[in-house]
Amino acid sequence: MMREHILAEFGKIRGNLRKLWNIAKMEEIDRNECLNVTHEIDKSLRNIINLFRYSVAKRLSEIESERLMLMEITVEALGGTSLTNILDEGLSTIERSLLPSTLSTLVYELENPQYYDNKKVKNSIVTFVKDLESKMIILETELNVKNELFLLSEFTSLFPAFTPNWIVATTYLTAMEIVVKMELKKRGKELKSTFKENFQILLSCLKEEDFEITQLEKALPSIFWDIRHKVIHEGYSPKDEELKIIREYIIKLIERCSRCHT
């Protein structure tokens, strides 16, 4: 679970670094936007640090007390300091590495336009982005973070209008459309121009095949079609309850279709 959280934060940082880089290319800088982006980067970095600290504390708590005591004695005998101090120093080193001084410098310049003009701020943005970018490459290589969760977090960070709920809803709705078309093709049915028509044909086919679909029909509220249209065609981010309707119904539909072939 901790790894998933770290991956999500890495993706957010990547997306926000790209935002800063694009801002630096503009003729006029929106300082408020810059400050918002740097705040999000700072928050993600601190979240990663806290996750590392939590992981270390959790692992220590899992070590048997006698073994932990032996480790403490050995470390103190060899190095003259405690195991806790060594771990704290290690985590502090990670924190200093992840929170570059160029970040605080950039924030200070953004907050004091009377002293720092746009040209100076642009240079500081470039310096900070390159600085953190180099650190991210090292960590990403070590942790092998370039997976799907990382990419999704990067996308939602770059384009906040497309929320995690929108991504989940789109995935389910796209899967639903693919399944309906596949099921109709298996039955040799001609596809219609609209998804709703294709869906109704599939329901009719299931009825003809003596599959009980009354619950399937009843489970689909009329609001579903409105939500589907807004999500797919308007980029609407469904509320949690709306997302629940989408998920639960589509799971039922796909499971029902799967049983047709068993």
Q: What is the pLDDT of residue 63?
A: 61
Q: What is the pLDDT of residue 112?
A: 94
Q: What is the pLDDT of residue 121?
A: 92
Q: What is the pLDDT of residue 128?
A: 92
Q: What is the pLDDT of residue 59?
A: 66
Q: What is the pLDDT of residue 94?
A: 66
Q: What is the pLDDT of residue 219?
A: 54
* Domain residue ranges in the chain: 2-158, 164-259
Low-confidence ranges of the chain (pLDDT < 70): 1-3, 56, 59-97, 142-150, 210-221, 259-262
The structure tokens listed for 122 are 């642009």
User: Which residues, other chains included, contact 251 with Cβ-Cβ below 8 Å and sequence gap of 6+?
Assistant: none
State pLDDT tens for residues 207-222.
Answer: 777 666 655 565 566 7
Which long-range contacts does 2-6 make (Cβ < 8 Å, 24+ apart)? 2/51, 2/54, 2/55, 3/143, 4/149, 5/47, 5/51, 6/48, 6/51, 6/143, 6/145
Q: What is the pLDDT of residue 218?
A: 55
Q: What is the pLDDT of residue 50?
A: 83
Give the three-class secondary structure for 115. coil
Quote the mean pLDDT of the chain.
Answer: 79
Q: What is the pLDDT of residue 208?
A: 79
pTM exceeding 0.85: no
DSSP-assigned letter for residue 113: T
Q: What is the pLDDT of residue 256?
A: 77
| DSSP states of 223-256 | HHHHHHHHHHHH-----HHHHHHHHHHHHHHHHH
